[in-house]
Amino acid sequence: MTNYHSNGLGGTSGSRIATASNIISSGSVYYVSSVSGDAAYDGTSRLYPKALFSQANSLVSDGDIIVLLADHSETIASKVTISDKIFIVGEGSQNGQPTVEFKKGLSSSDIFRINSEDVKFENVKFTSPDSAASGGYLEVDKGGTSFRGCRFEFNGNNNARGVEIANALSCIEFKNCVFVSTGAEGTNIPRPAVEVGSNVSGLILDGCTFDGGLVGFEDSSNNPYAFDATSGGIDSLEIYGLSVLNGTQVALHENTTGLAANVTSSVGGKLVF
């Protein structure tokens, strides 16, 4: 590791990486802001950031860091493929939530496709499209993907699952993430926040919350699943400090192996097998 940032990356709140007092890394750092950024900037300084995530993503290689400044808000309609082992970290926090926002555009594609192992997201919020749209937030096709301190919001405009974990992946982590249905009573019900393929191993849910809100979540068979892992058993699942709220369910296949510790539920929330 050859890049030493003696004063850190300059963040004052948000991701632990963005706010660290010093950073030693093997890769470069690129900054993004929808407010102060410009495609013409090289993005290597927080004073001269790129304007769009895709602009920074086109420059990265393994080990690089993309810092999303606290004012960054971006609607993505065409899928962005992430093909390098990178850190994607958001600055900023307000009322306990990330201020960095990726909004689902009106298209049939996901926001991101993860096509590299070991992609890490920290302190980023994903929000619903303005009207009904198919396609979700993330298509995870490689193992080692991690989400920490992220927030995922869903309403009746979410006509597809939020996060799809492909078959036969390993080492997927959700830590201190919130998945919440934000729709008003009488509106359409969003699809599951997370769908897990078969033969997945080493999946971790640590300190996560699944909140059905007023309308809940629902799969294609009208089951109230926010987390749907019923297509096949997960090998070596670890669940710690899980909260399942307001009538929604975290649903696992009966052949799942592993453990669940400190699971709490309220208002009809359940962990089901």
Give pLDDT tens digits for 106-138: 888 999 999 999 999 999 999 999 999 899 999
pLDDT at site 107: 81
Q: Which residue has the tokens 């997927």?
A: 172
d(CA 157, CA 78): 17
pLDDT at site 252: 97
Helix (H, G, I), strand (E, B) or coil at 53: helix
Average pLDDT over residues 13-30: 95
Helical segments of the chain, H only:
53-57
pLDDT at site 139: 97
CA distances to 81, 85, 86, 143, 151 from 26, in Å: 22, 11, 11, 21, 28
Between strands 97-98 and 93-94, the pairing is antiparallel
> For the segment 152-209, what is each residue's pLDDT rounded down to a tens digit?
999 999 999 999 999 999 999 999 999 999 999 999 999 999 999 999 999 999 999 9
Task: Using pLDDT thresholds of 50, 70 and 90, give the confidence band for residue 36.
Answer: very high
Say if residue 218's pLDDT is above 90: yes
pLDDT at site 106: 86
